[in-house]
């Protein structure tokens, strides 16, 4: 595999690739002088000054795109044209139209494509999905939650993501709100149909003269099956480091998952509540598959990433068609939701339909789920 972009996410991708048995053969730097530094940062065999030379010489089977958001499309298109399979960081693109073009390119190339919505790979997320699919919740009426961080909460905090010329028109929602929406749709099989959104920019930023992207967003939504939902997204919530939390409320059972406490799944019932622990001996088969350690030995974010990359490579090798592998179609779905959030916020919270078709099945019907991305969804190889 080869890594395009040698920052934090590039290092995460490379480590997961090694754990999956891949050779990290190349990395791309932004300047010729930085090639060796890029290779050293991700542990690659060789650094290249640009993507064109890497694709011509390195012989990578899979290219992992971990650049700033506005460069995703050009890197993905070049990798696909060179015959490589592609893993692209989210957001897949800076808008739904661009994301749709990448889905088309992936289908035309016949390559495996994936987007790391890695929270799908927590064992207790798979357990939640299995329990909803079996109908344990009864009738689901509401869902709530959020994704809260604090790394941009102070005036001096800065990052390339705050500049729309580099990160795209959305920051907090495209960066982390998309994860929450993907997780909700993945575990329930339901789809966000219409939404009303408000966004806020709390701190001034100095990186760009353009209007900085949003620090926070609040979204109210309805799903295709009539479930009501609320979502709070913030990157300025002091004390919250990476709190993705999701609660699904049903007439028979309710369930809550917190990514900062991923070893547990809360189950609520009228007769009493229960906390399920990640234990391969008691989990459903779908969840136990991703429990790589015995109970009491905590698994976390890198374990999820490792599982995501391992599943992707199994698809690349033709060994398996992994259940729940997030592909470019899921990246397109996230882009459509993000576009709807921005459109609603720009119209004072006006109710806005999410682009694409809105087919759905009843909540929890995992075996009848509509493919994420709409009826015109091109899922590509390996989905």
Q: List the chain residues with pLDDT less than 70.
A: 206-210, 357-383
CA–CA distance, 136 with 134 (Å, rounded to integer): 6
- For the chain, what are the domain ranges? 2-114, 120-294+328-368
Containing H/E element for 25? none
CA–CA distance, 138 with 150 (Å, rounded to integer): 36
Do 2-114 and 120-294+328-368 have matching folds? no
Looking at residue 292, what is its pLDDT?
92
Residue 369: half-sphere exposure toward Cβ, Cα within 13 Å = 21
How far, in Å, are 129, 136, 252, 324, 363 from residue 367 at the CA level? 11, 15, 21, 12, 11
Looking at residue 209, what is its pLDDT?
56
Looking at residue 378, what is its pLDDT?
35
- Among the four given CATH numbers 3.40.50.2300, 3.40.120.10, 3.30.360.10, 3.20.20.20, the one describing domain 120-294+328-368: 3.30.360.10
Of 331, 373, 144, which Cα lies nearest the Cα of 248? 144
User: How big is the CA angle at 115 (ends 256 and 237), to the nearest 5 degrees?
Assistant: 45
Residue with the two structure tokens 């890198």: 302
Give the end-to-end CA distance of the chain in Å, rounded to a whole number.
Answer: 20
Greatest CA separation for the chain: 65
Q: Which residues contact 336 (CB under 8 A, 6 or more apart)?
A: 96, 99, 354, 355, 356, 374
Looking at residue 381, what is its pLDDT?
32
Residue 299: half-sphere exposure toward Cβ, Cα within 13 Å = 26
Query: DSSP letter at 118?
Result: G
pLDDT, tens only, 225-265? 999 999 999 999 999 999 999 999 999 999 999 999 999 99
Looking at residue 355, what is its pLDDT?
80
CA–CA distance, 120 with 178 (Å, rounded to integer): 13
Q: What is the CATH number of domain 2-114?
A: 3.40.50.720
CA–CA distance, 97 with 90 (Å, rounded to integer): 15
HEC profile for 257-274? EECCCCCEEEEECCCCCE
Give helix 178-188 / helix 328-346 axis angle, nearest 10°. 120
CA–CA distance, 300 with 122 (Å, rounded to integer): 8
Q: b/e per residue, 216-246, with b = 16+ CB within 10 A?
A: bbbbbbebbbebebebbbbbbbeebeebbbb
């Amino acid at each position: 595999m080869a890594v395009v972009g040698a920052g934090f996410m590039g290092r995460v991708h490379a480590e997961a690739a090694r754990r999956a048995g891949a050779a990290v053969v190349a990395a791309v730097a932004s300047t010729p002088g930085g090639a060796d530094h890029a290779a050293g940062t991700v542990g690659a065999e060789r650094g290249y000054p640009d993507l064109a030379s890497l694709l011509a010489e390195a012989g990578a089977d899979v290219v992992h795109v971990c650049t700033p958001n506005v460069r995703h499309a050009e890197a993905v298109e070049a990798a696909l044209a060179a015959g490589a399979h592609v893993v692209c960081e989210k957001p897949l693109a800076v808008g739904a139209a661009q994301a749709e073009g990448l889905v088309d390119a992936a289908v035309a190339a016949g390559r495996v494509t994936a987007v790391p919505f890695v929270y799908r790979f927590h064992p207790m997320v798979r357990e939640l999905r299995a329990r909803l699919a079996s109908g344990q919740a009864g009738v689901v009426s509401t869902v709530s939650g959020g994704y809260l961080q604090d790394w941009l909460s102070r005036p001096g905090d800065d990052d390339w993501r705050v500049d729309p010329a580099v990160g795209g028109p959305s920051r907090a929602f495209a960066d982390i709100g998309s994860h929450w929406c993907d997780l909700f749709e993945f575990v329930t099989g339901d789809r966000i149909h219409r939404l009303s959104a408000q966004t806020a920019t709390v701190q001034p930023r100095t990186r760009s003269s353009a209007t900085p992207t949003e620090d926070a967003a609040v979204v109210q939504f309805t799903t295709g099956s009539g479930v009501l939902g609320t979502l709070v997204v913030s990157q300025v919530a002091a004390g919250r480091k990476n709190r993705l939390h999701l609660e699904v409320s049903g007439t028979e059972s309710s369930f809550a998952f917190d990514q900062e406490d991923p070893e547990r799944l809360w189950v609520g019932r009228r007769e009493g509540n229960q906390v399920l622990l990640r234990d391969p001996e008691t989990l459903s088969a779908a969840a136990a598959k991703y429990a790589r350690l015995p109970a009491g030995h905590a698994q976390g974010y890198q374990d999820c990433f490792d599982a995501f990359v391992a599943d992707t490579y199994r698809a690349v090798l033709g060994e398996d068609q992994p259940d729940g592998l997030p592909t470019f179609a899921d990246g397109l779905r996230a882009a459509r939701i993000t576009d709807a959030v921005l459109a609603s916020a720009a119209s004072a919270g006006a109710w806005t339909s999410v682009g694409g078709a809105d087919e759905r099945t009843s909540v929890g019907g995992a075996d009848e789920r509509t493919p994420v991305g709409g009826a015109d969804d091109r899922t590509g190889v390996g989905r």
